[in-house]
Copies of this chain bind each other. A is one copy, B any other.
Amino acid sequence: MRVEVLCTGDELLTGLTVDTNSPYFMERLVALGEQVARATIVGDVREEILGALTALGARADVVLVSGGLGPTADDLTAACAAEAAGVPLVESAEALAALEARFARRGIVLTPNNRRQALVPQGAEVVLNPNGSAPMFCLQLGQATAFFVPGVPREYRHLVDAEVLPRIRRLRSERPDAGFLAFRLLRTVGLPESHLDAKVAPVAAAHPNVTFGFRTHAPENHLKLMARGRTQAEADAALAAAEAASRAVLGSHVFGQDDERYAAVVGGLLLQRGQTVALAESCTGGRIADLLTSVPGASAWFPGGAVVYANAMKEAWVGVRAETLKAHGAVSEPVAKEMAEGVRQAAGATWGLSVTGIAGPAGGSEEKPVGTVYTALAGPGGTVAQKHRFPGDREQVRTFSAAAALESLRRALLETPP
């Protein structure tokens, strides 16, 4: 089965925007047992879109087209699709009703521009888009089944998962030559990619029927396993063996698998134990609180956090003593410890977690250069602090500081039976 993707949008050709939609689809397609044969990006230019669609209809079996379905004049995809299929654009009653309901809910007037988003090629199957105003549609283009989805990442991702991939799976099931794949992503923290690679190399050599891939997604490193088989059972068995062997060498560096998110894993460990964590953040500036509260239901295990950027706030909210600040400076182990202990007490939490450091670009000194960070964890058994030296820019220092703090909590939770 030949699958291709076509993205439209001038912003993808000026370097302003990097196409992260296609890799999202590509990864999921691989998990389904197929690989994209070609990816094409064209601008918001009628001749380019039309030419690309016509060529795709002649050589592909499945095409995912994204972008250019918005309400503005440079949104040309639906008109080009109709032209490539040799049909007129027609107003979809279903799409228009959804548009009207969407605008009514928000109390916004439906402009003629917006109404254009209900236009689809005649004969296309319309699929409503719960996250946006432009619907998805499916259209036969020559020999290819083409799926047209908006390019807004949230809308794109939902429609790919909920609508496009199940349809491709169905198309695939009708082909007798399609092989089977099994797929697992193991997520690690605390291991540089080269160490991950070195640990896993002997496992990969012992499982030649499984493809081992690596991906860095700071602060995480991921190991991707892909097994092929003539039957699903064969692929699953090969994957299970390779996964077990990989987990054996990686141990607790593996915090989760597939789509599991790090903050949700930490939250789950707290929930299992009926425990809570409160935060005192300086250089991470709310990053850890933001990560934790992105998890639905976080209120069960997260009472709150103090972003204590100024020293006065370190004193007022988490009880750091003025003498400690004066004697050791804000970026120091004693201050990190008092922050963790103070916030634990203020929130009546099981754990108090703190970070104080120099994220840069300014504020470094010879003694405490940019990247110097202290994390501390106060818990039922006492308080432990760690000193770190992170490389990179402000954003990187903040990312790695947040991860190091959360990782100290995860390791402490793993040592506490639920």
Contacts and interface: CB of A to CB of B under 8 A. Distances in A.
Contacts of A154: 218, 392, 395-396
Nearest to A20: B18
Given A18-B18, A214-B74, A296-B361, A290 B285 contact: yes
Interface in A240-297: 279, 281, 283-290, 292-294, 296-297
Contacts of A213: 10-11, 14, 16, 44, 74
Given A42-B38, A71-B193, A111 B14 contact: no
Contact of A286 (B28, B113, B289, B348): B289
Interface stretch (A77-85, A163-171, A310-318, A372-380): A310-318
A71 B288 contact: no
Given A10-B213, A214-B74, A285 B296 contact: no
What copy number does this chain have within its complex? Answer: 2
B15 A30 contact: yes
A305 B307 contact: yes
Given A10-B213, A13-B36, A309 B316 contact: no
Contacts of A26: 13-15
Given A18-B20, A214-B72, A307-B307, A394 B296 contact: yes
A348 B285 contact: no
A382 interface: no
A290 B287 contact: yes
Contacts of A215: 11, 16-17
Contact of A398 (B17, B216, B294, B304): B294
Nearest to A395: B294
Given A71-B194, A72-B193, A317 B309 contact: no
B198 A113 contact: yes
A327 interface: no
A108 interface: yes
Contacts of A212: 74
Contacts of A298: 285, 309
A346 B20 CA distance: 43
A364 interface: no
Interface in A46-93: 48, 52, 70-74
A216 B152 contact: yes
B48 A43 contact: no
A197 interface: yes
A117 B10 CA distance: 35
Contacts of A299: 309-310
A391 B105 contact: yes
A147 interface: no
A178 B25 CA distance: 37
A224 interface: yes
A88 B338 CA distance: 58
A302 interface: yes
A392 B131 contact: yes
B292 A303 contact: no
7 contacts: A15-B22, A37-B42, A40-B41, A70-B193, A72-B193, A113-B198, A305-B306
Interface of A: 10-20, 22-28, 30, 35-45, 48, 52, 70-74, 105-106, 108, 111, 113-114, 131, 152, 154, 185, 192-194, 197-198, 201, 204, 211-216, 218, 224, 279, 281, 283-290, 292-294, 296-299, 302-310, 312-313, 316-317, 346-348, 360-362, 391-392, 394-396, 398
Instruction: List the 6 shortest-distance A-B pairs measured between CB atoms, nearest first.
Output: A285-B293, A286-B289, A286-B286, A15-B27, A15-B26, A304-B313
